[in-house]
Chains A and B, each alone.
Chain A
Amino acid sequence: SAVISQKPSRDICQRGTSLTIQCQVDSQVTMMFWYRQQPGQSLTLIATANQGSEATYESGFVIDKFPISRPNLTFSTLTVSNMSPEDSSIYLCSVNRGPGDEQFFGPGTRLTVL
């Protein structure tokens, strides 16, 4: 299995500020994904982080709000910009090592925006 760590594990932020979440994997992986899980809800895919190119965003998510970096095959960041209370969620990093492999998930970052 892949071991995934996320930083920070939780944070409380003020409206209008930005937070960058880091995702580190213990091995090189093909695919990295960022999900959002709002309180009491299921997971929603934000984007696929592509190594060496721009992320691929799902409908309803835009780069200006959720810029993503992926400088190499083991690391990615997600920034939540100009935050509002509606951004309060758990943000999860997920990876897939190759075709047919199951997805592994990080522990999540619990964000509260006041």
Chain B
Amino acid sequence: DAKTTQPPSMDCAEGRAANLPCNHSTISGNEYVYWYRQIHSQGPQYIIHGLKNNETNEMASLIITEDRKSSTLILPHATLRDTAVYYCIVRPWGSNYQLIWGAGTKLIIKP
């Protein structure tokens, strides 16, 4: 079973920051938080991952609480093309660990 909890859906206005929350209260010390998204009819796309420090890349920022029990993915200036299902996943570092997918959050960006 997935170790994360996300709201099933969210709306955001185009041009605004989209803040997607994720709860992972049972996260272990060696587990990272990964975010992927799946645009309709496409394969999932990696966005960002982190352990305990906040992370930023060209796509998004990841804010992880100090106790690591929750995190927030931030899309700073959402566009219509960001409409997708966003998945928050926790897993240990290393290639031998599979991703366990929950239901994700369907983010709809509105004009």
Binding site for B on A (CB under 8 A): 4, 30-31, 33, 42-45, 48, 92, 94, 96-108, 110
**How distant is B20 from chain A, measured CB to nearest CB, in Å?**
16
Inter-chain contacts of A102 with B (CB < 8 A): 34, 46, 49
Interface residues of chain B, those whose CB is within 8 Å of chain A, are 34, 41-46, 49, 87, 93-96, 98-99, 101-104
CA distance A102 to B104 in the complex (A): 18
Minimum-distance CB pairs A-B, first 3: A105-B43, A102-B46, A43-B101
Please measure, in the bound complex, the distance between the C-alpha atom of A96 and the C-alpha atom of B93, giving whole angstroms: 12
Q: By DSSP majority rule, is chain B's interface helix, strand, loop, or mixed?
A: loop
Residue of B whose beta carbon sits closest to that of A10: B41
Known A92-B43, A102-B49, A105-B44: A31·B96 in contact at CB below 8 Å: yes
Which residue of A42, A44, A101, A106 has the most chain B CB atoms within 10 A of its CB atom?
A42
